[in-house]
Amino acid sequence: MAANFPLIILALTVVIWAFVTMVMRVSNGPTVGSGIIAMNQLSKECFSNAAHFPVLNHVLRDTFDGLHMWLNDMWKRETRNDRSDNQASGEIPPAHQHHMD
């Protein structure tokens, strides 16, 4: 495992750099939704290229699983906060406005 440590650090650095780059490319700014889209694109590219390197493939899979769980938690918090902000201000969320006609 110690011999693979530099490879693991390199893989994590590349993943984080590519992830941030794709988030910025997908949207006008980083949001949780754009992060999920970027992660899905990046994971497809990484896994197709890392299939020849079992250790790298394992590290990438664990990294993406962790990122995916974190982004899902952030997405839930962001959408929950949006709903509570709308309720507190008395605004009707756009998805429900057509019911008021």
- The encoded tokens of residue 92 equal 């009707």
Q: Classify residue 8 by burial, with Cβ atoms within 10 Å: 0-12, 13-18, 19+.
A: middle
State pLDDT tens for residues 36-84: 677 677 667 666 666 666 666 677 777 777 777 777 787 787 777 666 6
pTM reported for the whole predicted model? 0.37
Sequential DSSP letters for 49-94: HHTT-HHHHHHHHHHHHHHHHHHHHHHHHHHHHHHHHHHHHTPPPG
State pLDDT tens for residues 8-25: 777 777 777 777 666 666
